Structure 1
Amino acid sequence: MADHAKSDSPAVQAQLDRLAALSPGRDTLGLERIAALCERLGNPQDRLPPVFHVAGTNGKGSTCAFLRSAFEAAGLKAHVYSSPHLVRFNERIRVAGKLIEDEALAALLSEVLDHAEGLQASFFEVTTAAAFLAFSRTPADACVIEVGLGGRLDATNIIKKPAVCGIASLGIDHEAFLLAPEEGVPKDPFVRIGWEKAGIAKAGVPLVIQKYDRPVHDIISAHAKTTGSTLIANGVEWNASSYRRELHYRDEFGTMSVPLPALPGPHQAQNAALAIAMLRHQQAVKIPESAFEMAMGRAKWPARLQKLSAGPLTSLLPDAEIWLDGGHNADAGAAIGQFFQQYDRSVHMIIGMLANKDPLSLLHWLEGELESIIAVPVPNHEYHPVTAYRSAMPVEWAENVTKAFDKLAEKSPDTVLICGSLYLAGEVLRLNGQIPD
C-alpha cells in the first residue's frame, strides 16, 4: 500500500515525489534490495552507535519511546527510527534527540535515491537507508530502531550486531505479508507471527521478550537457540507487575520499583518493563537506576491513547474529552477496551480503518463501552465502507472527521474515542494543530 507521504517543505516533497515514482508503490519484504542499497552507500548500518532493535505487533513504538526517554533521562543522546509518521515525514528519523530538519532530510533522500536507481527499492527501504546514513554521520550514545513489518525480512534486519533485541506484544496483523504461504514456516498463524518477529535474533545478542502462549514462546526460544541468541523471557529471566501505583520489576540483577508510566493504559506498564529489561540485559550503554524512574513520566508516544488538548478540532466539542488511538487490530482493541473499562465512562466512537484490516477484531473488545459509532474514511488510503462495521448498534457514516464531530455535537458526548488507523490519527492531529515534535 502506498504511503502518500507529504511535506510542507518543497525540497523534501520533491524527493518524496521522486521516491514515489521510483519505488514499486507497495510494501515489499526481503533483505536483498536494502543490502544492495546500503552497499552502494558504504554500509552505514555497520557504523551506528549501539543499536536497540525492537519488534512486535503492538507496543514496539511505546517500548522505543521508553528506551529513548531512559537514555535522555541519563543525559545521553539517542537516534530513533520509527514508523509510520503521523503528520510529518520527519517524525520517522530523530537524530541525536531531535527530529531531522527539512534541509538535511531532503539532502539525505536525494543521496539515497541517487544510489537506488534500478534496485526497485521500496518506500520503507529508501527511508531506512536514509536513517542509517543520518545516524552514521552524527555522534550519539545509542540508536533505537523500530522494526517496520515483521522482523525476519524487515529492512532494519540488516543490522548485524545490535546491543540487544526486544519483542513486544504479539498478535495477528499484516496477514498478507506475514502469513503469506512459504515452505518451511510454521502453519499456525500465531506461531508464524512469533517466528517472523524472532527473525531479528542475532548470535551472542540478548533477545528480550514478553510473556506469550506456550507454542509461541517455544518457537521463539527454538529460534533463539538456533541463532545463538540469549533468550531473556518475561516470567522466566525477568518479571514485572503493577500495584500500588508502581511498576515493580525483578531480574537476576535485583529489584526495582518505579512510578507507573504517564502514558495512559495499563498495557503501557508492560511496554515500559520490556524497555527496562532490554536496558538491564545489555552491556553497551550504562543507565543509572534514577533514569528509569524519570523515564516513566517523560516518555511520549502520540496517538496511543492520547488525550487531545485544546485546538481547532476539539473546540467543536468543547465539553467532551477526546481520546485518540491508532490501534487497528484485536490486541490494540483489547488494550483500549481495558482502559475504558477502568475509566468507567461511556464512549462515542469515530472509527476509520484501512481496507486490509478487520474492523470486527477491534470492535469486539469495545462495543460494551460504546454509546454510538460513526465511521469515516481514511484520507488518501483505501478504507472500509460503513457496511463493514457490523455492530449491535447502528453505525452512522460521516464524510470526514470534522463532519463526524458535527454529528456528535447533537449527542452532547462526555467522551469521544477516535481510532482505527495511524493514518487517520495523523489527520486528526493535523486538524487539531498538534504536530508531533
Structure 2
Amino acid sequence: MTYQETIGYLYSRLPVFQNIGARAFKPGLHTTRELCSLLGNPQETYPTVHVAGTNGKGSTSHMLAAILQESGYRVGLYTSPHLKDFRERIRVNGTCVDEEFIVSFTDDQKSNIERLSPSFFEVTVAMAFSYFEKCKVDIAVIEVGMGGRLDSTNIITPEVSVITNISWDHTQYLGDTLGKIASEKAGIIKDGVPVVVSEYQNKEIADVLRDTAESCAASLVFASQELEIRNLGLSAGKMIIDIVDRKTGDIVAKKLRLDLTGTYQVRNVAGVWAAREILVAKGWKLDEQSTYRALASVVAITGLKGRWQRLRSNPDVFCDTAHNTAGLSETIRQFASVCSGIQRFVIGFVADKDISGMLALFPKEARYYFCAPSNLRALSAEELATEAVKFGLYGKVFENVNEALKEAILDSTPEDGIYVGGSTFVVADLEEL
C-alpha cells in the first residue's frame, strides 16, 4: 500500500473516536497489551513521562519534550488528536514519523489488526511505541488520550506521572462527578512512581488523588501549592514569568520567557517545572539554561499549534483548541483583555457534547459567525445558531470555518479582534494554521 492507501485503510477499518465518538470508545488495556506484546513490548525499552488531565496535557507534554530535547536527549512525543496530518501524533525530536514507517508497520501488523479488531487509537499507540524503539529514543513523553485508567497509553511505567487538572469533559465516559473523573485520571498513578499534579483545585479532587497515590506508595506534589507563578506580562511576543518557591519566597526561575502565551499556561508551567525537578533528582541532566531556551521556543522545537495562536494582525485573529467550559472560560477572558474593538467569535462544536455550559460563557454584545468542523461528529452550524439564540448570541451561519473567518475579517476594523475555536476540529480546519 502507498501512504495514502495506508491512512485510508486505518481510517476505514478502525473505529475512530474523533469521527464517530462513543461507537469508537473502547476502554481497557487488553488489546493494546496484546498488540505491544506481539511487537516485543517496545514501550519497555526506554523511559517515559506520562501526562494526563482535562486541559493542558498537550501543552504540558510539548513543554516537557522541548526541555528534554534542548538538554540533548533524543525525545519521542506522542499526542492526540492531530490537527492537520496524522503524522503529528508521533514525533522524535520534533520531526513527525516517517510515512514509510507507517506503511511498513501497518503492512506488518495487518493480520493482527484484522484478528484483534483494535480501535484506531490502540493501533496508533502501538505504532508510536514501536517507532520510538526503532528511533532509539532516550525518553518519550506520552500524552493520555482520554481519562487515564483505561486509556491505551496506560501500559507504561514512567519516570514521573503528571496530571494537569480535572474538570468537566467526556462525562459520558469518565463519570458524572469530579470525584469520578479524578479517579479515572488517577488511574495513571503507578507503584512508587512520583506524581505531579499541576494545580490544587478542591478537596474532593485532591482527596481522590492523594488516596490513590498513597495506595501506590507514590509521592505526590501539588505544584501550585509549592510554586507561585508570577505573570509579568508580554515582551517581544513572549510571556515573562517568575517562578517563586512558596515556602521560602526565593525566586526559582527569574524572567522565564514562554512562547506559549495563553494565560492558562501559568498553571501548566508549574506542573512542568515540578516534573522537571523530579527528573533532575532522578539523574536527568536538565540544566537551567537549556530549560530557559526550551520554554522560550516550544513551538519551534516541537511543532505545537493551536494554543492561543495569533494567526494575523489588524484585526488580531487568535485561535485556541479549548473545547470545554474550563478551557473556554480562560481563553474568552484573555480575548476580552486584548481586544480593544468589537469582539468577533468564529465558533463550532461537535454534536455529542452538552454545549449549553460553553455557550453561557460567551458575551452577548459580541458578533458571531457559526460554522461546523469537517468531522462526522460535527454539530451543524444551523443547529448551533438556533441553540446560541437561547443564550442571547446572534450571528451568521457558514459552511466551514474558513468562510466564516473571511467574513469576520471583512466585517472588522483594525481594532477589532477575532477568536476562532469551540472545538479542536474547528481549529484543525483553518487554512491559515
Normalised by the length of structure 2, the TM-score is 0.87
Report 1:354-433 matches (<5 A): 354-367=350-363, 371-384=366-379, 385=383, 386-389=385-388, 390-413=390-413, 414-428=416-430, 431-432=431-432
Q: Are the counterparts in 2 of residues 354 and 382 from structure 1 also a CA contact under 8 Å?
A: yes
2:263 pairs, out of 263, 266, 271, with 266
Name the SS of the counterpart of 2:258 in structure 1: coil
Q: Secondary structure at the match of 2:352?
A: coil
Q: Name the stretch that deviates more: 254-263 or 143-152.
A: 254-263
Cα-to-partner distance string for 1:351-377 (whole Å, 9 max, x where unaligned): 110001233322333326x62111111
CA RMSD, 1 decimal: 2.1
Pairwise CA distance, 1:307: 0.7
SS of 2:286's equivalent in the other structure is coil
2:31 — aligned with what?
33
Determine if the alignment matches structure 1 residue 174 to structure 2 residue 195.
no
Distance 1:344 1:427 in 2: 24
CA deviation after TM superposition for structure 1 residue 258, in Å: 4.2
Give the equivalent residue in structure 1 for 2:7: 16
Following superposition, the deviation at residue 243 of structure 1 comes to 4.0
Equivalent in the alignment of 1:192: 180
1:53 is aligned to 50
Residues 211 and 400 (structure 1 numbering): CA distance in 2 closer, same or farther, change over 3 Å?
A: same
- Summarize deviations over 1:221-241 as a string: whole Å, max 9, x none: 0011112221111244x2122
Q: Is the 8 A contact 1:41 1:115 kept in 2?
A: no
Kindly indicate whether residue 240 of structure 2 is the aligned counterpart of residue 240 of structure 1.
no
Structure 1 runs, 4 residues or longer, greater than 4 Å off: 251-254
User: Residue in 1 aligned with 2:329?
Assistant: 334
Distance 1:97 1:410 in 2: 36
Equivalent residue number for residue 106 of structure 1: 103
Amino acid at match of 1:12: Y
Kindly state the Cα deviation for residue 252 of structure 1 after the two structures are TM-superposed.
Answer: 8.5
User: What residue in structure 2 maps to residue 350 of structure 1?
Assistant: 346
CA contact (8 A) 2:223 2:270 kept: no
2:6 alignment partner AA: Q
Matched, 1:202 2:190: yes
Alignment of 1:40-79 (within 5 A): 40-48=38-46, 50-79=47-76
1:278 to 275, 278, 295: 275
- What is the one-letter code of the residue matched to 1:392? G
Instruction: Encode CA deviations 1:185-207: one digit per residue, 9 max, x unaligned.
Output: xxx61111111111000111101
Equivalent in the alignment of 1:228? 217
Contact 1:66 1:295 in 2 (8 A): yes
| Alpha-carbon distance in 2 for matches of 1:367, 1:324 | 17
Are 2:293 and 1:294 aligned?
Answer: yes
CA pair 105-378 structure 1, distance change in 2 beyond 3 A: same
CA contact (8 A) 1:96 1:139 kept: no
What are the superposed Cα offsets for residues 332-367 of structure 1, whole Å, 9 maximum, x if unpaired?
112202312331434200111000123332233332
Identity %: 30
The residue number in structure 1 matching 2:89 is 92
Which secondary structure does the structure 2 equivalent of 1:124 belong to?
helix
Q: CA deviation at 1:410?
A: 5.0
CA distance in 2, matches of 1:409, 1:163: 47
CA contact (8 A) 1:333 1:361 kept: no
Alpha-carbon distance between aligned partners in 2 of 1:379 and 1:252, rounded to the nearest angstrom: 49
Q: Which amino acid aligns with 1:197?
A: K
Structure 1 segments unaligned to the other structure (5+ residues): 1-9, 180-187, 310-317
Who is 2:77 aligned against? 80
Give the letter for the 2:13 counterpart: L
Q: Secondary structure at the match of 1:62?
A: helix
Partner Cα separation in structure 2 for residue 284 and residue 29 of structure 1: 35
The reply to whether residue 130 of structure 1 matches residue 132 of structure 2 is no
- Aligned amino acid, residue 306 of structure 1: Q
Residue 150 of structure 1: aligned partner: 147
Task: Measure the CA separation in 2 of the matches of 1:243 and 1:122.
Answer: 42
Structure 2: tracts of 5 or more residues without a match: 17-23, 233-239
Out of 113-122 and 32-41, give the one that drifted further: 113-122
TM-score of the two chains, using structure 1 as the length reference: 0.86
Q: Deviations over 1:386-423 (max 9, x none)?
A: 22323323132111223323432552242111101111
Q: State whether residues 402 and 429 of structure 2, in contact with CA within 8 Å, keep that contact through their aligned partners in structure 1.
A: no
> Residues 380 and 227 (structure 1 numbering): CA distance in 2 closer, same or farther, change over 3 Å?
same
More deviation in 196-205 or 298-307?
298-307
